[in-house]
Amino acid sequence: MTTISQRSVILVLFVAASLALSACGPNETILKSNSPTPVRVSNASATPYTSNDPVDKEVEAMRTANFNYIFVLRRKDGSKMDTDDKAFVRGVTGGFNRRTLSDDEKAVIVGSNPRVPDETLQMIRSRFEVEDFSKPANEIQNSNVPANANMNR
């Protein structure tokens, strides 16, 4: 009779454990109480890239890094950036936080937190087609601090 009692006890424990585990789940009230994630509004004057454009990923990475100014530079003839083009971009964007070559070397995406001097933009526009994906003026932080800088000193 001991084996029947042991089997009964094991069966009862198994059923109890199954019921206890199936009753566990997230509290729907708590899950629904979280405020919605704010939707980031992009610069309305900028033309968004389609998801098929390889530059889109880089522009989004610049937005994620929270750069104030984001520009996409392309040669006016649509060709790949040559050595002189790359050297020119490196030279005039030395104060920028990030530069990325994309779209089979046909585009350079640059990001900056400090305001880009008008003279620099004029020099860039004289040589390249420039698309501006910068934040709207009311969202730009007036700072010369590099992106992701530690402000707790």
* Residue of 111, 85, 91 lying closest to 100 (CA atoms): 111
Residue 138 has pLDDT above 80, yes or no: yes
Alpha helix (H) residue ranges in 24-153: 28-33, 54-64, 83-92, 118-127
Q: Cα separation of 7 and 1, whole Å?
A: 10
pLDDT band at 23 (very low <50, low <70, confident <90, very high): low
Look up tokens 């104030």; give the residue: 68
% the chain with pLDDT above 70: 65
Span 67-117, pLDDT tens digits = 999 999 999 999 999 999 999 999 999 889 999 999 999 999 999 999 999
Starting from the edge strand earliest in sequence, which strands make up the sheet with 107-112, in order?
Answer: 98-102, 107-112, 69-75, 128-132
Look up tokens 């309305």; give the residue: 44
CATH 3.30.70 fits 54-138, yes or no: yes
Of residues 44 and 3, which shows the higher confidence score? Answer: 3
**CA distances, 45 to each of 32, 39, 84 (Å):** 35, 17, 31
Residue 145 has pLDDT above 60, yes or no: no
* Residue of 24, 112, 118, 16 lying closest to 71 (CA atoms): 112
Q: Are 103 and 55 in contact (CB under 8 A)?
A: yes
Amino acid present at 39:
V
Q: Cα separation of 130 and 23, whole Å?
A: 58
Q: Cα separation of 88 and 109, whole Å?
A: 14
Residue 152 has pLDDT above 60, yes or no: no
